[in-house]
Structure 1
């Protein structure tokens, strides 16, 4: 059996499409253009095997009926030589014998009928590659556990040879078991992150949140020196806080929570409890599940599900709410308008003491400024003003966009009187209310103080 080199995590998955009809291959290539894959083409089974002998392939999709070597035979060869490669058969006719042969000899992952539906084809490819990634990670963890067990077996064998040293050797073994258990916990965290990325596939990329929330929580834990157990629970809670939403419709998942209708709003208020229920059966997840249960509680007691108030809300839940709302405000999952990072922090500061722990808010803003290069709010020289508070000589601290996303002014622009008047007029025309992030030079501030 030939060994196939694994692809690295930074490589795009490689897809090999095999069909003797070039029109089919061209259609598939057009469909996959812009997808995060490297696509290779072959017009015969022999050519496909030549390509696979030269480079690793993650997924092969072959037409069933081809001259010389049919799809089932090709996939059987692939299974024998490259068992780690995912195999899919594309068939344009109902041939039970070919499908049975592909399943029995090629052990195909899926088969797709021609003509295919584009969205179903893309979903099948994404699910197949996600399953392959998860299986590779599982096998890696199994191998790692087996290696650790082998080390423990060798250690145990030496105990009978040195009776005098038995006590110290038993202590050494216990220490290694503790290390192995800690490593298993860390592996559990990795597993939750992988699962969260798969769950995020329900949302379009612009609406996905979990990866950014995980990274933000990690930065907070590192900057504040939180212990490993607390950091681990917060990371797992950040990875799976919205697992209770997976039963929602696609429309409900991408609709801002403030725009949900009555029935959907009641279902929305139930998702923290649903998430906790799904995770409580997993012993390592119990503490993280409790943080998820209460991450929609509010400082003033108006939150859900238990209307906890103030410090009765677990610290981790208070922090998780800040991180979740900060990212979801920017994704348009809370309000209809998508905010930039500074606007989201202004919103959070505005509701400190009502929605958020007031003692955590400013600390959280400083962490965001450390983590994100586009946050200016933590800079004491930056002010947040309305258009009518603007004055000539002020300098934009960040880009100004209209509510529809159109760029109005670039960061660094020095304001003048006519420009301020145009902004006020445009704001009135749009029926909007802009928050302008500006730096105020000393001479401008002095002039404002003299006229006030």
Structure 2
């Protein structure tokens, strides 16, 4: 592993763009003009490695298909020599083997398809560099904690009066570490949701499912008091359950599963395993990947890939199957006829004990009723407001998405004055009308509108 020059927290992050097509590099450079990054360009893997040998690079985004050294190979070299550098792969075609190689060997942080959406590209770069900054800060705090412990050993014999104050400092440092780690985990969940929106670009709007499944799973977890770790794994599984379908043809990815030909049906039965394989090398995704692997198992043991039966199927997988089927039945991705929500629930109830956990079905149907009616009925402190009714201090209760599906703000965001003004301006620019679900703290008053 080669050493890189240190980068101070006050330096602009250095972003290296690698592509053998200069037109692509020029487009990316124009997109990043005005962003708080120092942008460097390379037209080959060898040139990129030479640049990294000479200076510290925070993030590398490389095209997948390049002569002499492809993107996956380049990112694998960078992972070995400069593991601290964020690695993103940019590709214009769906190639599972290239994706798997990039994930397994290059341990990429993100995967972006061409053509990209400018706002989503900028969001991905911003979140990736934020993740890197948080990780560096966490490591700095770990080192600081270790240093302080060493000082305590030396001071303990003669400086007993300092023990209380040092202990307080250590507790503060530990609290900061916990907070940083929680922020990292939250950023990972948000990252998976952003990635799911990118993956959904393969599908027409009427066939997209991930956002609704994420929201449905969150409502279930909230109503049933599911612990934070399980809720986080379920959310990530809902965001990426169908990532294994990205290599399918357009006709197959939009076809009802019930109408697939024999060869396509066998490929369909392999998508949970394909999804799990793509995610297993990412440590924070391992539990979510296991839920994805078994979300097509059936209560009577006739499912796939392992024909698990009854409670041998992980609880999260049983819940995920209910959520996936409920939404996909309405999108025409399971049967040729698209059902409405009531028909989908009748279908699910009729297969309780065969496809679905019979005890879980009724709970799920009650959650669907709350999900379909209004989240504000579940929690009286949650209001549905327009942008002009928003007040600083309110907390976003649901992800806010633009009409085109782009994630604008994630749930849990505390609103402030400038952010509210930006939402109002963006809504006017898009000609949209947002209904925003917010949690209203007791000390925040809702504006009365005439």
- Normalised by the size of structure 1, how large is the TM-score? 0.51
Deviates more, 1:24-33 or 1:370-379: 24-33
Per the TM alignment, residue 278 of structure 1 is displaced from its structure 2 partner at its CA by 0.5
Per the TM alignment, residue 269 of structure 1 is displaced from its structure 2 partner at its CA by 0.3
The 1:371/1:165 distance shift into structure 2, 3 A limit, reads same
The 1:268/1:174 distance shift into structure 2, 3 A limit, reads same
For 1:100 and 1:311, locate their aligned partners in 2 and report how far apart those are by CA, in whole Å: 31
Per the TM alignment, residue 169 of structure 1 is displaced from its structure 2 partner at its CA by 1.5
The 1:252/1:310 distance shift into structure 2, 3 A limit, reads same
For 1:393 and 1:166, locate their aligned partners in 2 and report how far apart those are by CA, in whole Å: 34
Per-residue Cα deviation, 1:119-161 (whole angstroms, up to 9, x for no partner): 9999999999999999999999999999999999999999999
Whether the 8 Å contact between 1:4 and 1:56 is mirrored in structure 2 is yes
Per-residue Cα deviation, 1:87-128 (whole angstroms, up to 9, x for no partner): 999999999999999999999999999999999999999999
The 1:217/1:158 distance shift into structure 2, 3 A limit, reads farther
For 2:338 and 2:36, locate their aligned partners in 1 and report how far apart those are by CA, in whole Å: 26
Per the TM alignment, residue 284 of structure 1 is displaced from its structure 2 partner at its CA by 0.4
Whether the 8 Å contact between 1:343 and 1:435 is mirrored in structure 2 is no
Per-residue Cα deviation, 1:225-280 (whole angstroms, up to 9, x for no partner): 01100000000000000000001111110000011111110000000000001000
Per the TM alignment, residue 209 of structure 1 is displaced from its structure 2 partner at its CA by 0.1
Whether the 8 Å contact between 1:72 and 1:102 is mirrored in structure 2 is yes
- Bigger Rg over Cα: 1
Q: Secondary structure at the match of 2:12?
A: coil
Whether the 8 Å contact between 1:300 and 1:354 is mirrored in structure 2 is yes
For 1:16 and 1:173, locate their aligned partners in 2 and report how far apart those are by CA, in whole Å: 34
Q: Secondary structure at the match of 1:40?
A: strand
Whether the 8 Å contact between 2:391 and 2:447 is mirrored in structure 1 is no
What is aligned with 2:113? 113
Whether the 8 Å contact between 2:96 and 2:247 is mirrored in structure 1 is no
Q: Secondary structure at the match of 2:375?
A: coil
Indicate the RMSD between aligned Cα atoms, in angstroms: 14.8
Deviates more, 1:34-43 or 1:330-339: 34-43
The 1:429/1:324 distance shift into structure 2, 3 A limit, reads same
Per the TM alignment, residue 354 of structure 1 is displaced from its structure 2 partner at its CA by 0.3
List structure 1 runs of 4+ shifted beyond 3 angstroms. Answer: 1-164, 374-444, 447-452
Q: Secondary structure at the match of 1:388?
A: helix
Per the TM alignment, residue 167 of structure 1 is displaced from its structure 2 partner at its CA by 2.6
Deviates more, 1:34-43 or 1:181-190: 34-43
Per-residue Cα deviation, 1:20-44 (whole angstroms, up to 9, x for no partner): 9999999999999999999999999
Per the TM alignment, residue 320 of structure 1 is displaced from its structure 2 partner at its CA by 0.1
For 1:423 and 1:110, locate their aligned partners in 2 and report how far apart those are by CA, in whole Å: 27
* Equivalent residues, number: 450
The 1:17/1:241 distance shift into structure 2, 3 A limit, reads closer
Deviates more, 1:159-168 or 1:133-142: 133-142
The 1:251/1:303 distance shift into structure 2, 3 A limit, reads same
The 1:375/1:230 distance shift into structure 2, 3 A limit, reads closer
The structure whose RCO (Cα within 8 Å, separation 6+) is larger is 2
Whether the 8 Å contact between 1:75 and 1:102 is mirrored in structure 2 is yes
Gaps of 5+ in 2: none
- Normalised by the size of structure 2, how large is the TM-score? 0.51
Deviates more, 1:261-270 or 1:46-55: 46-55
Per-residue Cα deviation, 1:285-330 (whole angstroms, up to 9, x for no partner): 0000000000000000000000000000000000000000000000
Deviates more, 1:384-393 or 1:20-29: 384-393
Deviates more, 1:163-172 or 1:112-121: 112-121
The residue correspondences of 1:391-410 to structure 2 (distance < 5 A) are: none
Q: Secondary structure at the match of 1:158?
A: coil
The 1:207/1:131 distance shift into structure 2, 3 A limit, reads farther
Per the TM alignment, residue 166 of structure 1 is displaced from its structure 2 partner at its CA by 1.9
Deviates more, 1:140-149 or 1:409-418: 409-418
Whether the 8 Å contact between 2:400 and 2:409 is mirrored in structure 1 is yes
The 1:449/1:261 distance shift into structure 2, 3 A limit, reads farther
